[in-house]
Structure 1
Amino acid sequence: MTGSERRDQIRALLSTSDRAISATILAHKFGVSRQTIVGDISLLRARGLTVVATLHGYELEANDQPSAIIVCRHFPSDAAEEMQRVIQAGGAIKDVEIEHPLYGQLRGSLEVRTAADVNLFMGRLKHQQGHLLSELTDGVHTHTVTYQTPDQLAAIKQTLRDAGYLYEN
């Protein structure tokens, strides 16, 4: 099978799947390395396919929900609570972005939709001894959040405001 044929099959799998598919699963299916799949995904994105990397694997981006960008500021120790507040208010967190003085905008895909996703993210952060992007900007960062209704967006903002995480200066 050629790389082009493999990418066509990956596109078809992502189009029909109702859940995320990991690079490891795709690598086993096609008998290639995980890194080859990562490269295939990059090529598919370069050709305009909106593939997002979630905590559970790759999926096609769903553009059917309204979204908003909110600005937050908090200490790293507050990250889990910040994410839980968004989830509990009915939202999901698509990404995190900072404005870095040297590199400009730096964005990380999160795709955090459930309390379990928050726990998984925080567990991976601890296990990998990672750092949050917001640590580079004194805690200031933005999130793209999705929601179902305007009332949910208002609730998301209010719960973050109540915790002192919504940056409104």
Structure 2
Amino acid sequence: MDGQTRRKEMIRMLLEATKPLSGTALANAFGISRQVVVQDIALLRAEGYDLLATARGYILNQEAGNMVSRVILVQHTADQIEDELNTIVDNGGRVRNVIVSHSVYGDLTGDLMLKTRRDVKGFVEKVKHNEAALLSILTAGMHMHTIEATTEEDLDVIEEELKEKGYLV
């Protein structure tokens, strides 16, 4: 199978997937290395596909055109992360990413794509299980999220809830 055919098949698989597909799963499906998967994903992004690399695998973002987004600045402790993220998803939002502005490295971004409480729980459990440091540890808990929702009003409600809880900076 040539590269162009493989990439078309990758898009088909991502369209049909009900959950993120890992680089290993894609590599195994095509009998290629994970390095080739990364290169194919880069080529597909260059073609205009909105592909996201999350901690759970690759996602083809099909909802991007139907959503409005906003970057918010928040600060909280590590113990409050689940409440912060649940506040967003409970009010109809999606947490696209986390961003920290580092004085040396500039903006560091991690794709999250959290839409439900189950997504949030899975993320929090994965952080705990892997004893992973949160990006916000670099900035004393201060970080940004790109949040998405179907309407600006939903984003306003999310911001108001975060403000009431003391998370919004």
- TM-score if structure 2 supplies the norm length? 0.87
* Matched residue type, 1:150: E
Number of the residue aligned with 2:144: 142
Q: Deviations over 1:86-108 (max 9, x none)?
A: 11111110001111000111111
Secondary structure (helix, strand or coil) at the match of 1:121 reads helix
Amino acid at match of 1:155: V
Tell me, yes or no, if the aligned pair for 1:92 and 1:113 is still in contact at 8 Å. yes
SS at match of 2:108: strand
SS in 1 for 2:24: helix
Alpha-carbon distance, 1:31 to partner: 1.9
Partners of 2:55 and 2:111 within 8 A in 1: no
- Residue aligning to 2:167: 165
Corresponding residue pairs, total: 166
Alignment-derived partner of residue 121 in structure 1: 123
4+ residue stretches of structure 1 with deviation over 4 A?
none
Counterparts of 1:124 and 1:154 in 2: how far apart (Å)? 29
Contact 2:54–2:110 (8 Å) recurs in 1 = no
Code of the residue aligned with 2:77 in structure 1: it is F
Cα-Cα RMSD: 1.9
* 1:77 alignment partner, SS class: helix
Identical columns (%): 37
Contact 2:7 2:40 survives alignment (8 Å): yes
What do the CA deviations read for 1:53-85 (whole angstroms, capped 9, x no partner)? Answer: 245432222322011111101111111110011
Aligned partners of 1:42 and 1:109: how far apart in 2?
15
User: Are the structure 2 counterparts of residues 120 and 35 from structure 1 closer, same or farther at C-alpha, using a change threshold of 3 Å?
Assistant: farther
Contact 1:53 1:111 survives alignment (8 Å): no
Q: Please identify, of 89-98 and 46-55, the stretch whose mean Cα deviation from structure 2 is larger.
A: 46-55
- 1:17 Cα deviation (Å)? 2.0
Alignment of 1:16-27 (within 5 A): 16-17=15-16, 19=18, 20-27=20-27
Residue 132 of structure 1: how far off its partner (Å): 0.9
Equivalences for residues 15-54 of structure 1 within 5 A: 16-17=15-16, 19=18, 20-54=20-54
